[in-house]
Structure 1
Amino acid sequence: MDKVETMRAFVTVVSEGSFTRAADRLALSPQLVSKYVSHLEERLGQRLLNRTTRKLHLTEAGLRYHERAQQLLEELDDLDSQVGDLGGSAQGLLRISAPVSFASEHLPGLLSDFQRAHPGVGIDLMLDDRKVDIVEEGFDIALRIGRLKSSSLIAKRIAPVRLVLCASPDYIARCGAPANLDELAQHRYLRYSLMDSDNPGSLQQTLSRAQPVAGSSMVCNNGQVLMRMATLGMGIVLQPTFIAGRAIAEGKLQILLPELAPEPLGLYAVYAHRKLLASKVRCFLDFIDGYYGDSPYWDEIA
């Protein structure tokens, strides 16, 4: 039985947390994946996994083997990709994590263009606004929005992300348009719960003090929901133009206090530092670089 295949089966079982999910990932039957892992344990003379009805637990030997096996498989995949580059064709499955609102609005076009240019690369896209651990969770690239802190990861800036404060004409007609920060604090603010840490400053501090109207309030971790609430006249919202741009262009939202807009954030492609970068990753990074430009189309719409 092939050593690399048994090693890959074991590493995938650990990363997926079950034989069934590992089998789906590898396009094999759960029985064959289990046979691979059992064969690996027999060959090594060590139990690598303790199996219960609900969970899998790595033994001490399994923990040590998994760490080294994962590294070897990554290096082997990278080597294959490097050699594959000589033929001019990137191959393999590219796993990408991306923020929900940005991806659903603006990634389909990019991914379609990328796969037309690189038909040998498959895409496994997961939408999640949390900051995933790309190494632990097995992603090749994570797209992130914010002001990135120092880390061991490599970050490539893709595009600026401009934030605008806006409200619907109906809300402005009922409640008025704030002329300054003091007046802004008296308005109803539709707050994006994940923005505070990435957007410090006087505007954010003022918005955090905004008073609820008639005892109501709105906090949400999805910008598209907040933008729709704003178009329905339910308050003032601070959102990126990649979400609010079309509503602004259509007159459903109006920009308020543009002189107080925060410094633009950034859209970044984040990936793990490796000596050998897989061709599928390198091709995607080269493709996305400059795709949206310094003045993205969503800003032009807004």
Structure 2
Amino acid sequence: MAIPAHLIAHLPYFAAVAKYQSFTLAAESLFVSQAAVSYQIRQLEMKLDVLLVVRQSGSRVYLTNAGLQLAAEYQTCEKRLESVLQSLQPQTLTGTLRLTAPVDFASKVLPYVFRELQTQAPKLKIDLDVSDAVVDLLADGFDFAIRTVSHAERLQHELLAQAHKSVVASPTYLIQYPTPHSLSDLKSHQVLVRGLGQYFSWNQLLASEGLSLTNDYRTLVLGNTFALEEGAKASLGLALLVDFAIKEALQSGQLVRVLPQFTEKLTTSLYLSYLPSPQAGVFKQVLQQAIEVVIKQRFAAAFIVV
């Protein structure tokens, strides 16, 4: 049940009297007259129909049992509120930061980013949502999103980096099917895609020669980056993926690049999206710094840092 507003207004005066055990000192601490403090206490007692404070000779003040209970609870709430208010100050880099990011970036890159953040902001907690869906930051209560699109209204979008992309296949697949040497050769292969109609990367590649992915191509739908990677390893077809996600598979030889002359400059842009606010500026800076450090240290060849 909500505390009635007409009671809340009196509580700071009561708390001051309880703290100083004096109406005079309470009034001085609140920069009001002693009469004003007395009036507030009388109003609180009248509305609660409870005696809270007893004034003795010599201006000595005692709290009744009811007054002691109320004072103790107020002090507890005050300490909790003070802690929350401190955590809301962005300069302290404390509290919880809610972040949403695509599956591949969240899984491959962000764990190392969070380890870097533990060094830069050890008191900052991260609540990570992993999803390829474009969520509503405002409605869902997120502070930041890492996205490949930058057109949501009311949000600020800053380019973080550009991720290189490659067409890959397993060595076994390339034994079974001829290695493509031109984009038109792709019609002779099975193309692995995220979903029906979700052909952004493939169309980005094909557009360099005025082509697009149509029903003329054989496609196999495999949900997300990791399913596409495993599908390519299983010799199901050709996948077009960001290099940071397939770094280990390329190094181990499980996957090899094809059509490198066409994908050399092919990238996906990654944006940091957020609602502009004073606190966002501070957290944005430390988050960007951590991402930049991790990319340079672990994924330098897979990104162009902006």
Runs of at least 5 residues in structure 2 that lack an aligned partner in the other structure = 9-83
Give yes or no for contact 1:147–1:198 (8 Å, CA) kept in 2.
no
Q: How does 1:210-221 map to 2 (within 5 A)?
A: 211-212=217-218, 217-221=219-223
Partners of 2:96 and 2:276 in 1: CA distance: 19
Give yes or no for contact 1:168–1:233 (8 Å, CA) kept in 2.
yes
Partners of 1:278 and 1:285 in 2: CA distance: 11
Question: What is the identity, as a one-letter code, of the residue corresponding to 1:228?
Answer: E
2:125 aligned partner: 122
Partners of 2:216 and 2:181 in 1: CA distance: 14
2:19 aligned partner: none
Give 1:288's match in structure 2, choosing from 291, 294, 304. 291
The alignment partner of 1:224 has SS state of helix
1:81 aligned partner: 89
The alignment partner of 2:114 has SS state of helix
Shift of 1:129: 0.4
Give yes or no for contact 2:150–2:273 (8 Å, CA) kept in 1.
no
Partners of 2:205 and 2:120 in 1: CA distance: 45
**Structure 1-normalised TM-score?**
0.63
Shift of 1:264: 1.1
Give yes or no for contact 1:184–1:206 (8 Å, CA) kept in 2.
no
Task: Indicate the larger mover: 171-180 or 261-270.
Answer: 261-270
Change (3 A) 1:278 1:259: closer
> Over residues 117-171 of structure 1, what are the superposed CA-to-partner deviations in whole Å (9 max), with x where a residue is unaligned?
2122111111010111111111001011x35347432122222211111111111
Give 1:245's match in structure 2, choosing from 238, 244, 247. 247
**Structure 2-normalised TM-score?**
0.62
Q: How does 1:106-255 map to 2 (within 5 A)?
A: 106-144=109-147, 146-149=148-151, 151-193=153-195, 195-197=198-200, 200-201=203-204, 203=206, 205-209=211-215, 211-212=217-218, 217-255=219-257
Partners of 1:80 and 1:159 in 2: CA distance: 29
Give yes or no for contact 1:78–1:277 (8 Å, CA) kept in 2.
no
Partners of 2:130 and 2:296 in 1: CA distance: 23
Give yes or no for contact 1:164–1:255 (8 Å, CA) kept in 2.
yes
Partners of 1:93 and 1:126 in 2: CA distance: 13
Calculate the aligned-residue CA RMSD, in Å. 3.2
Task: Indicate the larger mover: 197-206 or 265-274.
Answer: 197-206
Structure with bigger gyration radius:
2
Question: What is the identity, as a one-letter code, of the residue corresponding to 1:274?
Answer: S
What is the aligned residue count?
Answer: 219
Shift of 1:291: 4.0
Change (3 A) 1:289 1:106: closer
State the percentage of identical aligned residues. Answer: 24
Question: What is the identity, as a one-letter code, of the residue corresponding to 1:219?
Answer: V
Partners of 2:235 and 2:101 in 1: CA distance: 29
Shift of 1:254: 1.4
